[in-house]
A and B are shown apart, each in its own frame.
Chain A
Amino acid sequence: AQSVTQLGSHVSVSEGALVLLRCNYSSSVPPYLFWYVQYPNQGLQLLLKYTSAATLVKGINGFEAEFKKSETSFHLTKPSAHMSDAAEYFCAVSPNFGNEKLTFGTGTRLTIIP
Chain B
Amino acid sequence: DTGVSQNPRHKITKRGQNVTFRCDPISEHNRLYWYRQTLGQGPEFLTYFQNEAQLEKSRLLSDRFSAERPKGSFSTLEIQRTEQGDSAMYLCASSLAGGRGSPLHFGNGTRLTVT
A30 CB → nearest B CB, Å? 13
Which residue of chain B has its CB nearest to the CB of A42?
A: B108
Residues of A within 8 A of B (CB): 9, 32, 41-46, 49, 51, 90, 92, 97-107
CA distance A90 to B44 in the complex (A): 12
Q: Is B74 an interface residue (CB 8 A)?
A: no
Q: Which of A9, A90, A97 contacts B43 (CB 8 A)?
A: A90
Contact check, B33 vs A101: say whether CB atoms are below 8 A apart.
yes
Q: Which applies to chain B's interface (DSSP): helix, strand, loop or mixed? A: loop
Residues of B within 8 A of A (CB): 4, 31, 33, 40-45, 48, 56, 91, 93, 95, 97-104, 106-109
Contact check, B45 vs A103: say whether CB atoms are below 8 A apart.
yes
Contact check, B108 vs A100: say whether CB atoms are below 8 A apart.
no
Which residue of chain A has its CB nearest to the CB of B92?
A: A43
Contact check, B40 vs A49: say whether CB atoms are below 8 A apart.
no
Q: A43-B109, A44-B91 are in contact. Are A92 and B42 (CB under 8 A)?
A: yes
